[in-house]
Homo-oligomer: A and B are copies of this chain.
């Protein structure tokens, strides 16, 4: 059950080469993950970083920038969870413009406590939610 968020390439994303500046792609990636947590896992970043005292920092990226994106284009970011660990999750996110691939991200995140900056096991609800998302994918 793929999850897709559309980002429009705005002026703020573009550099003097008139293409998306890559740190801005990572902002779009982060916003996609944020919406996925909120929509599919029923757990907003406001709850995570506020009352729960947790965070989900990224520990690894593998990214291929396949073709540049230009001002005004609509990019679909499609997220699929790939691997679930005790306190981590690896996500694949494909950014496309129409049928054309633009960026392919693999991002690994860790569930951690803000108090000591150390990983924690996923809470049961989140673990179950991610598993459901992965099963949807496997079918």
Closest to A10 in B: B31
Given A46-B72, A64-B59, A65-B58, decide whether A27 and B23 contact each other with a Cβ distance below 8 A. Answer: yes
Copies of this chain present in the complex amount to 4
In contact, B60 and A63 (Cβ under 8 angstroms) = yes
Question: How many residues does chain A have at the interface if contact means C-beta atoms less than 8 Å apart?
Answer: 40
A16 touches B (CB below 8 Å):
yes
Interface residues of A (CB under 8 A from B): 10-12, 14-19, 21-24, 26-27, 30-31, 34, 44-46, 49-50, 55, 57-66, 68, 70-72, 114, 117
Q: How far is the CB of A88 from chain B (nearest CB, A)?
A: 12
Q: Write out the residue numbers on chain B whose beta carbons fall within 8 Å of the beta carbon of A64.
A: 59-60
Q: Jot down 19 A-B pairs with beta carbons below 8 A, ordered by A.
A: A10-B30, A11-B15, A11-B30, A11-B31, A15-B15, A18-B49, A18-B114, A19-B55, A22-B26, A22-B57, A23-B26, A44-B72, A45-B71, A58-B65, A59-B64, A59-B65, A61-B62, A61-B63, A63-B63
Q: Write out the residue numbers on chain B whose beta carbons fall within 8 Å of the beta carbon of A12.
A: 15, 21, 23, 27, 30-31
In Å, the complex CA distance between A95 and B26 comes to 18
Give the contacting residue for A15; candidates B14, B31, B60; CB below 8 A: B14
Q: Write out the residue numbers on chain B whose beta carbons fall within 8 Å of the beta carbon of A27.
A: 12, 23
